[in-house]
Amino acid sequence: MQKEELILILDFCGQYNQLIARRVRECNVYCEIVRHDISAEEVKNKGAKGVIFTGGPASVYGEDAPKCDPKIFELGIPVLGICYGMQLMTHTLGGKVEKADKREYGETQVSFEKSILFDGFGDSNVCLMSHTDYVDTLPQGFEKIAHTESCPFAGIQNTEKNFYGIQFHPEVNNTSDGIKIIDNFVKKICKCSGSWKMSSFAKETVKALKEKIGDGKALCALSGGVDSSVAAALLNEAIGENLTCIFVDHGLLRKNEGDEVEEVFGKRFKSKFVRVDAEKRFLDKLAGVKDPEKKRKIIGEEFIKVFEEEAKKIGTVDYLVQGTIYPDVVESGKGIGATIKSHHNVGGLPDYVDFKEIVEPLRDLFKDEVRKVGRELGIPDYLVDRQPFPGPGLAIRVTEDITKEKLDILRDADYIFREEMEKDGVNKYSNQYFAVLTNVKSVGVMGDYRTYDYMIALRAVTTVDFMTATFTRVPYETLERVSSRIVNEVPHVNRVVYDVTSKPPATIEFE
C-alpha cells in the first residue's frame, strides 16, 4: 500500500458506500472508508490525495443530518460529492438544498457539459438517480456540468478548488460506464498513478493477521466455498500450523460435496483439517422449522457451538476466522442497514461466543474481489470459480420444514440442473444457479397414474457483485432437458418451473 495513492471515502450511511470503494480499487487506487465526522487534521495526516463523500438517506437540512468537518474544504485536496455528498458540499459552502417537487428514482437520462470529470462521455448518459432533495442554488465559485429534465444541477464543479458534485450514482451498474467518472476523479483530478493491485491487499492482510494473532491459535469455519477457502488460505499464509480448519458437515450440503471438500482441503493445506459429522444434530434442531430467518439463526448458533466444542478438544484457541464478505454484512443489517436476511456467519451469531475475537479478513470485499485475492494466493481456478453456496446450505432451499427425504430429493434435482448447465456452457455467463424444493404440490400424470408430488423451482442469476443481479437467459433447450431429467430421475417430483425475477426486488436465494 502506498500512502500517496490513498483516497478517503467519508461514510454518510449510504447503501452503496462499499461499491464506491470497490470502484476505486478497480481503478488500481487504494482507498479507505472512514466515518463522516473524521477531522480535517486526520485527513491531512493520512496523506489522502482526494476525498469522496458518499450518498446517504438523510436531508442535509435535517436536525440530525450527518455532517463533515468543514475544514476539509480548506486542505487543498480534491473532493467529490455523490448524491447526499454533493448536497452536503453545497449546503456547507453556502449553497441551497431544497425538497424536490418531483423525486427521481431509477435510470435517468443525464445531459453532460464539458468537464474533466466526464472525459470520455458524449452529451448524455444513462445514470441511476435516487434522491428526494436537490440543489437549488449553487455555492459561490461553482458551475453546472450536468442536468436532467427534473434536476437543474445533476452535476457541479469548482475547478479552481477541485470540488466536484454529482447527484447520480456512478458506482452502480445502472449508470452506464460510471466507473469512468470514478477513474477520471482519482487519476485526472487527484493525480493518482493507479499502481495499487489486489496483491497488495493480500500481502497487507497476511501481514496484519500475523501481527494480530501472533503465536495464538485460530479456527477457520471452512465450508469449502470460495469465501471461506480464501479466508483459510490467508490464515494459512499468516499462521500456518496454528490454524485448524473445521469443516462442519451439517447434512445440508449438495450432492457429494462433503467428500469433495475433504478430498481437496484435507490434503492441500499445511494447517490441520477436521471434518465434523453433525447431520443428525442439525436436522434435529431444524425439525418443524419453516421460517427461513429462524433456520438461519438456528444454523448460526449451532455452528458456533460446534466450533466451541472442537476448540476445547484442540486446546486454547483465541480466534474464530470466517469468510464473511460485504454483501453478507449489508443483507444482515449490521450497522445502519435494514435486515434483509441474517447470514449464519453474521446476523445468526449469538450474543456471546467462546473466542477472544472473530476475525473476518474479507468482510470489506465483494465476491469478484475475493476471487482475485484467491488467485493472488495461488488457489487453483477450479476452487476460486466454484459455484457460490450459502452457509445455511440447502436449509434455505427447502422452502418449509426440512426432512432428510426432502434434502435428498433436492440434492438430486440440483445435481441434474448444475450438470446440464455446465454441459451446455451456460455456467460461463451465469454466476449462480441452483434448484429449490418448494412447498407446492400439484397433480400430475405419469403413465396411467395420477400423481400428487412436489414442484422444483430452478434459479439462475447473472451478476458481478451479488448486490444486484438479473435472471440468466437459460436456453429453452437446456431448461427442457433439465425438466425432463428431473421429473424422470428424481422421485416425488412432477413439475419444474424457472424463476425469472431479478435482484432487486428478489434476493439471490429463493426463500
User: Hey, which residues are catalytic here?
Assistant: 83, 169, 171
- Can you read off the three cell numbers belonging to residue 111? 445531459
Nearest Cα to Cα of residue 87 among 121, 44, 45, 53: 53
- Beta bridge pairs of residue 452: 443
Separation in Å, CA 470 to CA 58, 131, 429, 459, 499: 29, 24, 11, 11, 11
Q: Are strands 155-158 and 143-147 parallel, antiparallel or unpaired?
A: antiparallel
3-state secondary structure string across 250-284: CCCCCCCHHHHHHHHHHHHCCCEEEEEECHHHHHH
Nearest Cα to Cα of residue 306 among 285, 292, 323: 285
Instruction: List, edge to edge, every strand of the sheet that includes 218-221.
Output: 272-277, 243-249, 218-221, 319-321, 357-359
- Can you read off the three cell numbers belonging to residue 8? 478517503
CB atoms under 10 Å from CB of 300, counted, come to 22
Which DSSP helix (H) or strand (E) runs through 199? helix 198-213
Cβ-contact 351, 389 below 8 angstroms: no
- Can you read off the three cell numbers belonging to residue 257? 460435496
Nearest Cα to Cα of residue 159 among 78, 270, 65: 78
Q: Are strands 470-471 and 449-462 parallel, antiparallel or unpaired?
A: antiparallel
Q: How many helices (H) and strands (E) does the chain have?
A: 14, 18
**CB < 8 Å & 24+ apart, contacts of 260-263:** 260/224, 261/222, 261/223, 261/224
Residue position matching grid coordinates 458551475: 143
